[in-house]
């Protein structure tokens, strides 16, 4: 017996079309995405539609027939949505082939200290922190899963090194230490729902786009270089921001479970950064030097979407309003 259908409220004609299809078993009829050509590639409608497609490859959606995962008509619709998103990403970044220069830029902290973690450390309120937790829940409750898609696409030392990083992400064999479990503990410590995608209704497109980018890169072998570039960029930049989050949470008197998630990332990502840069990216480019442009693209796309999220959060907060579609209770 299938569980009750649980689909998020739609955000436009694209997500409505996908949700309507998923609400019943596959019929063999194509999904008509008539307005796709006019859709914003980073907008709420397209991003939710793409998220609904991708989620069938993860834990699925309660009440949705599992045969949708490989239904040809859903895959065709997903491919069209992906192409719109990918075209938008490629058109918004400069590109290039200099991987070393991209990493060098990531290793330099911004002088003005104007990022989200700086704001939270210096002047953030508890409601700001809880909103960040809600945004990030869309990824952190599946942390490591999108990156696992690239494992069979790598060889030799690059594969072994990436698996070592993923082993840590999944708790080193201990379920209670998996990063997704630590984030669920964090949510409970902040008195927020800890269920998988329980906060999706609250989260707008800028955060959903980041997770969709991971899924896009992971599910396509042709984008393995971009996935590795994205993963490396994330590991390089997480440690300093996690340190500032611990400072913010300490200042605000947050529960220890909230701080533990970030202290774990300070320690783990200091090691992961080196492994990803040298053993994964470095070895991949020795094996396949033609993937340098894809690695650069993955780094730049990650920076682009993270900056869009940061701008959204800070613009909302400085205007005194919630950054979420629906404020938290």
**97-318 falls under which CATH superfamily?**
Heme oxygenase-like (1.20.910.10)
Rounded to an integer, the average pLDDT of 193-209 is 97
Contact at 8 Å (CB) between 160 and 154?
Answer: no
pLDDT at residue 114 is higher than 90: no
Q: What is the mean pLDDT of the chain?
A: 95
Predicted TM-score of the model (pTM): 0.96
- Our measurement of the distance from residue 321's CA atom to the centroid of its chain's CA atoms, rounded to an integer in Å, reads 24
Tell whether the model's pLDDT for residue 107 goes beyond 90. Answer: no
pLDDT over 80 (residue 269): no
On whether the CB atoms of residues 50 and 81 are closer than 8 A, the answer is yes
Average pLDDT over residues 180-205: 97
Cα separations in angstroms, 97 against 21, 67, 224, 294: 41, 40, 15, 8
Q: What is the pLDDT of residue 110?
A: 66
User: Looking at residue 2, what is its pLDDT?
Assistant: 53
Q: Say whether pLDDT at 268 is over 80.
A: no
Residue ranges per structural domain of the chain: 13-91, 97-318
Q: Residues of 54-69 as b/e, b for ≥16 C-beta within 10 angstroms?
A: bbbbeeebeebbeebe
Average confidence (pLDDT) over 288-301:
98
Are the C-beta atoms of residues 149 and 159 closer than 8 Å to each other?
Answer: no
**Segment 112-132 mean pLDDT:** 94
């Amino acid at each position: 017996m299938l569980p009750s259908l649980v689909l998020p409220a739609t955000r436009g004609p694209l997500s409505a079309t996908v949700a309507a299809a998923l609400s019943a078993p596959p019929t063999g009829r194509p999904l008509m995405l008539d307005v796709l050509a006019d859709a914003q590639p980073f907008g709420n409608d397209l991003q939710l539609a793409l998220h609904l497609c991708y989620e069938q490859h993860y834990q699925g959606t309660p009440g949705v027939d599992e045969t949708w995962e490989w239904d040809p008509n859903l895959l065709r619709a997903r491919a069209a949505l992906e192409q719109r998103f990918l075209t938008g990403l490629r058109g918004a970044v400069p590109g290039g082939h200099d991987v070393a220069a991209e990493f060098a830029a990531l290793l330099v902290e911004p002088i003005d200290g104007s990022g989200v973690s700086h704001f939270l450390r210096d002047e953030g309120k508890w409601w700001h922190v809880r909103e960040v937790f809600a945004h990030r829940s869309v990824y952190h409750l599946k942390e490591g899963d999108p990156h696992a898609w690239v494992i069979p696409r790598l060889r030799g030392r690059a594969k072994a090194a990436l698996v070592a990083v993923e082993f840590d992400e999944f708790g080193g064999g201990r379920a209670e230490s998996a990063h997704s479990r630590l984030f669920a503990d964090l949510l409970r410590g902040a008195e927020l729902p800890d269920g998988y995608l329980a906060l999706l209704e609250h989260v707008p497109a800028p955060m959903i786009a980041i997770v969709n980018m991971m899924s896009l890169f992971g599910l396509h072998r042709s984008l393995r270089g971009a996935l590795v570039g994205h993963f490396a960029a994330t590991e390089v930049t997480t440690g300093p921001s996690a340190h500032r989050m611990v400072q913010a949470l300490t200042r605000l008197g947050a529960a220890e479970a909230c701080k533990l998630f970030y202290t774990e990332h300070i320690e783990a990502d200091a090691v992961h950064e080196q492994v990803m840069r040298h053993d994964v990216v470095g070895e991949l480019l020795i094996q396949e030097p033609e993937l340098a442009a894809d690695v650069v693209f993955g780094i730049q796309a990650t920076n682009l979407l993270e900056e869009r999220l940061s701008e959204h959060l800070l613009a909302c907060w400085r205007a005194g309003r919630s950054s979420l579609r629906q404020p938290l209770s």
